[in-house]
Structure 1
Amino acid sequence: MSMQQVPSHRRVVVGVDTHKYVHVAVAIDELGTILDSRSFVADAGGYTQLIEWAAAFGGKLTFGIEGTGSYGAGLAGAVRRRGIGALEVVRTDRRDRRLRGKSDTLDAENAAKAVLAGLATAVPKSHDGVVEMIRQIKVAKDIAVKARTAAMISLKQVIVNAPDDLRQELQHLSRMALINRCASLRPGKVTTITASTKHTLRAIARRWQQLNAEISEHEKLLKELTSQAAPGLTEAFAVGPDTAAEMLIVAGDNPERVRSEAAFARLCGVAPVPASSGMTTRHRLNRGGHRQANAALYRVVIVRMQHHEPTKAYVARRSAEGKTKAEIIRCLKRLLARELWAAMRPIRDARNELQQAA
């Protein structure tokens, strides 16, 4: 298929189906006519070739990119640095693929048409600032926490099946006392079941200690970075570095892409949506959004319900009105999202000033 030129006043949309090694792009005009389709290597050189190929059509150029948080992140960054508009496209659902078929070119065409139809409106995260640093450290910490939990479970399971004398010595100890005791065991030469059990317990306990030290280092870094990025977040009651990190990760390094406080609440999965039918009028929570951010909001709300006087007064008032505990928690999560969005205002203002200066 040969390339076609488009008048400068007309719109050109390039849909991109991203993969690990190759990106497939399809260009369409504002009438939905396919102009050309090509494949490009998924590296810096390929990104440059793809952008130059798209720019050669003329017209007002917009990219619709799938997977901007994974394989498409590099291309989205390259497009943004060239000053070209880019939107994130959700992959086609399975039902549509069964009806229309599946190929990389079809997926790229669908991405372009989603932008043209106004179905894709989300601006991709930039992944180029302190929030991306926070996200990476949070990933490392979460992996270490899971491994530490697994180590403790394994340690206790070994103790359950340990020889009687060793089991009776260890099973009543508190967590830290158990870790320290097992880490200091001296199995000697492994010639008996007791010696092999001690060897195993010591290995697991020392692994737990190493992971615990690693987690502490991650937490220290998260505290420094979140305080640097948004000091107002960590000053809120019961909001620690972990919760602040989750909120910043949701907003991204370019929080101006989130257009309103209501949009931020929806990203966090705490925006109610209508669920009415017939004579029944009600709402339910939007189950979309960032699950980790939603869980972080829940943890903060639970702590505030126990230790925060204004929250305790709110719970008492809403309970008197006949609200259930689940309904009250839903309301509190929504209010908390509003509070934390306001605390991130300095970041948004700084980004806006930077863009205006540029």
Structure 2
Amino acid sequence: MNSILQAEPIGKVVVGVDTHKYVHTAVVVDVVGGAQGTISVSTDRGGYGQLDAWAAQFGQVLGFGAEGTGSYGAGLASWLRRHGRKVVEVNRPDRRVRRQRGKSDPIDAENAARAVLAGTATATPKSAEGTVEMIRHTKIARDTAVKSRTQAMVTLKALIVTVPDELREQLQGLPKMTLIDRCAGLRPGPVTSVLASAKRSLRSLARRWPDLDEEIKDHDRLLSELTTQQAPELVDAFGIGADNAAEVLVVVGDNPERIRSQAAFAKLAGVCPVPASSGKTDRHRLNRGGHRQLNSALYRVVIVRMRFHQPAIDYVARRTSEGKTKKEIIRCLKRYLAREIYQMVKARTEPASSA
């Protein structure tokens, strides 16, 4: 793999940054691998400016390699990008490297710089400055609300099992919405008995569920608007819809050009086949890497298409007659779906890139 710094003369440097919540630690390394200096700065705009000015003292800065550009390093990556600096996303060091060299913030920052120098770190971080970032925020709020709604219902039904008999006999076996309405209308009165405290707790849980349900519907409406605005052809594709489209867009980011090919997208989604051949055996196995939420979204779309999409139904029948298992067929369909989605995403970015 070629490094962005290959054959550069001395006098040019790269900066590695170990990011944290309150303090970032940076190390400057020249193009022949010599560490030139270390600094720690605060995680605000003043600290980012201080880091940039400090790094410029050592020569021409060719790039910043930063860990955690999607979390603690998001603010730094955004600031550097807006000020014309090249930012490279660096993975956490391998455990074997940490056992050999030890663990500290300057060591991690130096490892980040050396990963850029060696060309092992080349990924462009997501810009997180457009509609897709708005989708990500909304989806996080929606997903947590869905979990809370489910937890409220599970807790409500579990509590009914242990309440006094006269109350349990009234509530057991009721349909979900009837149960919520019945519990929400309970009148506990003064909490002076076990029965009263049970009614109060059941009423609290039951009234929480509709509030969360309304919140989820509000998030769904906004997600539908944002995803349709960002990628209408992706939302309209068979079996995808707004929720799965949102998952795809969040992984791709506001700058999808950073994903260089459909094979790279398939690897990111964990749907590219992995060679598992040995001797006379020539086969591939399921890829268990990649972004698991995106992989799960592709799986849901494939399952829908296998049931209701005629081309997918015909494909399943043909591959089954060839001796393929259901798991192998799903793997193949996920790979085809990844190619289809990448073409949609690529088509969306072509006009902007040609301009």
TM class, shorter-chain normalised? over 0.9
The code of the aligned residue for 1:246 comes to E
> 2:206 aligned with 1:205, yes or no?
yes
Question: In the alignment, what sits opposite 2:13?
Answer: 12
The aligned residue for residue 286 of structure 2 is 285
Contact 1:270/1:330 (<8 A) preserved: yes
SS in 1 for 2:136: helix
Instruction: Check conservation: 1:254, 1:351, Cα contact below 8 A.
Output: no
Q: Is the 8 A contact 1:8 1:59 kept in 2?
A: no
- Secondary structure, in 3 states, of the residue corresponding to 1:280? coil
Q: Return the alpha-carbon distance in structure 2 between the equivalents of residues 10 and 307 of structure 1.
A: 62
Task: Count the aligned residue pairs.
Answer: 348
Q: In the alignment, is residue 84 of structure 1 matched against residue 85 of structure 2?
A: yes
The separation in 1 between residues aligned to 2:267 and 2:11, in whole angstroms, is 34
| Matching residue of 2:343 | 342
Deviations 1:85-141 (A, max 9, x none): 110001112222122111111111111111111110110111111111100111111
CA RMSD of aligned residues (A): 1.7
Q: TM-score, normalised by structure 2?
A: 0.93
Quickly say closer, same or farther: Cα 1:306–1:38, change in 2 above 3 A.
same
Q: CA deviation at 1:233?
A: 0.9
Displacement, 1:236? 0.7
Deviations 1:53-75 (A, max 9, x none): 22233335111111101111111
**Structure 2 gap segments, 5+ residues each:** 1-7
Residue correspondence of structure 1 range 1-358 to structure 2 within 5 A: 11-59=12-60, 61-353=62-354
Distance 1:350 1:175, change over 3 A: farther
Contact 2:10 2:32 in 1 (8 A): no
Counterparts of 1:197 and 1:307, CA distance in 2: 46
Deviation at 1:167, TM superposition (A): 2.4
The letter for the 1-side match of 2:122 is T
* Corresponding letter in the other structure for 1:275: A
Cα distance between partner residues in 2 of 1:308 and 1:67: 40
TM-score normalised by structure 1 residue count: 0.92
Is the partner of 1:199 in helix, strand or coil? helix
Runs of 4+ in 1 over 4 A off after TM superposition: 7-10
TM-superposed CA distance for 1:263, in Å, is 0.9
Deviations 1:215-259 (A, max 9, x none): 111111100100011001110112121101110011101111010
Aligned residues with identical type, % of pairs: 61
CA distance in structure 1 between the partners assigned to 2:73 and 2:348 by the alignment: 25
